Structure 1
């Protein structure tokens, strides 16, 4: 029987930085990147710092793998309008900060940016995306020395809330865990068996339990705020649509009244009578008479 586990984002911040637990993060990255990932060390990153305004909403960890590549794993819980820009900034920052003074540009490390988001990001309906940088010739010439995309950062986005909870492969098993904090007994993905052991809530000490519960409370509050904002936006949109329809209706009624008034003017009707029949003002009717003249 499967059991509820500690959320992956809190675990990244508190438990998975321990070398003894690298196997969990290694398993996740191996399934996502389709290669056997070994973490050499955890590097300093923004997620290592406790910034009060952001310490619950965003988590990130920067690791160096056995291939000397830098892997950023960032987890974002609430909506951020410029998140794609932040992704680009984070990858660029990791790249530049890990090129020592005096090193040639050829020694830059490949950066892999893994982004796990719990909000609607972009319009795509899928839940896992990969982005690379490629150059397309304008003159039918090609770069022949190496694959240029191997130099530039590589991006992965996992839109957790888009996942339908049907695990078709081992990567899906990890996404299921990211969404539900649960590992089914049938799951075979790398690292999940270890996650099931390491991330057992019952293993937390009293201080960790307190901190984790605070974290969950924060996420509940933020989820309620996001839902309230969504409802307000929907109500505002409905109001705007209703106002637009009403304006169109009034405009159409006005046009009909004008057409009727013009016919009544041609028939010799007096202004007071036309106003009673069309709801147009005397000044509006006089203006129509002037147009006729």
Structure 2
């Protein structure tokens, strides 16, 4: 019997179950190192309400909350299907994390920076890139300079930019990636999209993923649960796609019907407006003729009707 070809577990499943294990931290550290362009070390995985384990849980929402060696908090979330208020939920999650990790009465100086990383597999909106980065910067409206705040640190007053304190947001739009992977970041996004990892990769995290996230290394029970997870995602995406197509078809039909109705209404309105305009013009001309027959000067007729003297002379020849 031939050797089974390596198949790798999708990142959304791994992050929900396997990457919480300290032995597997290197995989997630690799992604963060490539994304931040700075060596990132995870100290611990923090409790997060989104990490449920039953298949009946919301498989759209898979997240992990980690603390790095600087004490900063990193939120990583995978979203498989569309959610209307996704950006609002990202904001809420960050705000909740900040308040959860500072006790009542503590100094605001103890607030740690939060990084939010969203890996989305749905059409989030317009935009041509597969990676977007959002960061708070305070720029002078008139001077265009960036504001620096004086802050106390280790008994010294030091300048600090607000962006060093405020949260940062990364959105990886997986389905928008359509390149040949050449850079470490592109290799990571390609894995997120296809589940494929090059056998000779040197990209941080992916070489570890090749060893840690092999499909055939799971037990039969784990493989069954994983396959059911993929099946559930496919079914939900199919349902949403069908609903979208039905909505488009219905919308087009309604739009055509409304368009015809609006067209009729617009035609009637336009006819009325044209008729009124023509009626007013005829009334003005009749008034001008009457005034002329009564012997009024051309200048007075112009003031009375709004017609120019030239128009009156042409009309009453």
TM-score by length of 1: 0.81
Distance 1:253 1:136, change over 3 A: closer
1:180-227 deviation line (CA, Å, top 9, x unaligned): 111123533211011111111000012211211111111111111111
User: Cα–Cα, structure 1 residues 169 and 252, in superposed 2: closer, same or farther, change >3 Å?
Assistant: same
RMSD: 2.6
- Name the counterpart of 2:208: 194
State the SS of the aligned residue for 2:160.
coil
SS of residue paired to 1:63: strand
Unaligned 5+ segments in structure 2 are 150-158, 274-317
Q: CA deviation at 1:53?
A: 5.8
Kindly state the Cα deviation for residue 167 of structure 1 after the two structures are TM-superposed: 1.5
Structure 1 residue 240, shift from structure 2 partner:
2.9
The residue number in structure 2 matching 1:265 is none
* Residue 83 (structure 1) aligned with residue 97 (structure 2): no
CA distance in 1, matches of 2:5, 2:71: 36
1:143-185 Cα deviation digits (max 9, x unpaired): 3521111111110000111111421311011000001111123
| Aligned equivalent of 1:129 | 132
- Tell me, yes or no, if the aligned pair for 1:3 and 1:183 is still in contact at 8 Å: no
Match of 1:176 in 2: 190
Q: Partner residue of 1:203?
A: 217
Q: Give 1:41's aligned residue.
A: 44
After TM superposition, the structure 1 = structure 2 runs for residues 246-285 of structure 1, keeping only pairs within 5 Å, are 246-247=260-261, 250-251=264-265
Aligned match for 2:121, one of 111, 118, 124? 118
Q: Please state how far the C-alpha of 1:136 moved relative to its aligned partner.
A: 2.6
Cα 1:201–1:143 shift into 2, 3 Å:
same
**Aligned-partner Cα distance in 2 for 1:212–1:95:** 33
- What's the TM-score, normalizing by structure 2? 0.75
In the other structure, the counterpart of 2:237 is 223
Secondary structure, in 3 states, of the residue corresponding to 2:172?
strand
Asked if the contact 1:47–1:61 (Cα under 8 Å) also holds between the matched residues in 2, the reply is yes
Based on CA coordinates, which of the two structures has the bigger radius of gyration? 2
2: CA distance between counterparts of 1:135 and 1:47? 32
Q: 1:126-165 residue pairs with structure 2 within 5 A?
A: 126-138=129-141, 140=143, 142-144=147-149, 145-165=159-179
- Distance of aligned partners of 1:165 and 1:139 in 2 relative to their CA distance in 1, 3 Å threshold: closer
| Secondary structure at the counterpart of residue 30 of structure 2 | helix
Report the more deviating stretch, 134-143 or 32-41. Answer: 134-143
Structure 1: gaps (5+ residues): 260-293
- The answer to whether structure 1 residue 93 and structure 2 residue 73 are counterparts is no
C-alpha distance in 2, partners of 1:23/1:256?
70
Task: Return the offset for 1:110.
Answer: 0.6
CA deviation string 1:89-131 (max 9, x = no partner): 1111111111134321011111000000111113112110000
Local SS of the residue matching 1:103: coil
- d(CA) in 2 for partners of 1:185, 1:70: 32
Distance (Å, rounded) in 2 between the aligned partners of 1:9 and 1:38: 20
Give CA deviations for 1:42-97 in whole Å, capped at 9, x if unaligned.
00012233477643121000000011110000111110010000101111111111
CA deviation after TM superposition for structure 1 residue 4, in Å:
2.8
Distance 1:6 1:127 in 2: 22
Q: Give distance in 2, aligned partners of 1:147 and 1:199.
A: 39
